[in-house]
Amino acid sequence: MNVTSFENPNSLETPERFDPSGDSPLADVMTSARLLRAYLTEARFESLRMFRVLGFSLPFLFLPVALYLLFGVVLFGDAVRNDPSTGKFLFAAFAVFGVMGPGMFGFGATIATEREQGLLTLKRALPAPAGSYLLAKLLMTMLFALITMATMISAALLLGHLPLTFAQCARVTAINILGSLPFCAIGLFIGTRASGKAAIAFVNLIYVPMMHVSGLFYPLPKFLRTISPLWPSYHLQQLVFAALGMTFYGKSAVHLAVLGGVTVFLTALSIRRLARVG
């Protein structure tokens, strides 16, 4: 130990690991490859965790396709075969329904609970990359959306006998995976403000009316059609209609702008809340 370091604290050299020159062998510990692996590892374990929570994974992975088969094949199979547009409408409705839930509940309920348990405080103390916690939940939601779309398309082609082309399937899948982002933002906004017990109630207060008032499953009366564009699910469904070659309302650019605006605005408010309050 250098004695002069005790006599003059200012003479202490910067430890090698904090060498700002970048010449230190430890300065490049987090290379781009290791950083990417850290993000993917966090996302992998978050996805595995949510898959193992059967109360979360089973409803969101199997309920959309089960309801689609019930209404599109068992109950109204003859009508769908005689009128393919009816089948596409049901397919679009349950596909959008399938990507709404994982984002709203996966962010809203879990973040609120983990905030109360102090997990977010622990995450800040861990040597994890910035944003890996939220990015892991986002990738988990997109994975759930991908699996939902795979099961929905398989059921539509094999059992629903819908005349879907490969291009239509690819477009709808991409739209719905990216379309899950505004619902993640809604869940994140709730999760950063509500308690663990109240978060599920608040999510349901938005989730259930959104399914019905946005006209997701059936045509609405005229006085309700005026407020249906207030809901993100309405705009996502119109984009899916466009991808399927169906008649849709409004312009695609407007629908994209609304979904993007909801995502950016609510995410910014939520991150600001997490940074200030935790």
Q: What percentage of the chain has pLDDT greater than the value 70? A: 89
Q: What is the pLDDT of residue 25?
A: 42
Q: What is the pLDDT of residue 257?
A: 97
Provide long-range contacts, Cβ within 8 A and 24+ apart, for 205-211: 206/104, 207/100, 207/101, 207/104, 207/105, 210/100, 211/97, 211/100
Compute, in degrees rounded to 10, the torsion defined by CA atoms 58, 202, 214, 143.
-40
* Structural tokens at position 228: 């249906």
Residue 151 CB neighbour total at 10 angstroms: 19
Contact 199, 105 (CB under 8 A): no
Give the span between the Cα atoms of 184 and 137, in whole angstroms: 9
Contact 228, 234 (CB under 8 A): yes
Residue 252 CB neighbour total at 10 angstroms: 14
* Structural tokens at position 206: 């938005």
Res 1 pLDDT > 90: no
Res 131 pLDDT > 60: yes
* Structural tokens at position 28: 């490049």
Q: What is the pLDDT of residue 29?
A: 59
Res 14 pLDDT > 80: no
In the predicted model, what is the mean pLDDT of residues 251-266? 96
Q: What is the pLDDT of residue 63?
A: 93
Question: Which pTM value belongs to this model?
Answer: 0.84
Q: Dump pLDDT digits (tens) for 72-101.
A: 889 888 888 888 888 899 999 999 999 999
Q: What is the mean pLDDT of the chain?
A: 86
Contact 61, 148 (CB under 8 A): yes
Give the span between the Cα atoms of 42 and 145, in whole angstroms: 18
Q: Dump pLDDT digits (tens) for 142-163.
A: 999 999 999 999 999 999 888 8
Res 212 pLDDT > 50: yes
Q: In 3D, which of 179, 175, 182, 191 has the Cα closest to residue 263?
A: 182
Res 49 pLDDT > 70: yes
- Give the sign of the dihedral formed by CA 138, CA 144, CA 154, CA 203: negative
Higher pLDDT: 118 or 150? It is 150
In the predicted model, what is the mean pLDDT of residues 238-242? 96
Q: What percentage of the chain has pLDDT greater than the value 90? A: 58
Res 106 pLDDT > 80: yes
- Report the 3 state secondary structure along 64-80: HHHHHHHHHHHHCHHHH
Question: Burial code of 31-70, b = ≥16 C-beta within 10 A, e = fewer?
Answer: eeeeeeeebeebbeebbeebbeeeebbeebbeebbebbbe
Exposed, middle or buried by CB within 10 Å (0-12, 13-18, 19+), for 78?
exposed
Contact 200, 191 (CB under 8 A): no
Looking at residue 266, what DSSP letter applies? H
Q: Dump pLDDT digits (tens) for 152-198.
A: 999 999 998 888 999 999 999 999 999 999 999 999 999 999 988 89
In the predicted model, what is the mean pLDDT of residues 39-47? 91
Res 267 pLDDT > 50: yes
Give the span between the Cα atoms of 101 and 87, in whole angstroms: 22
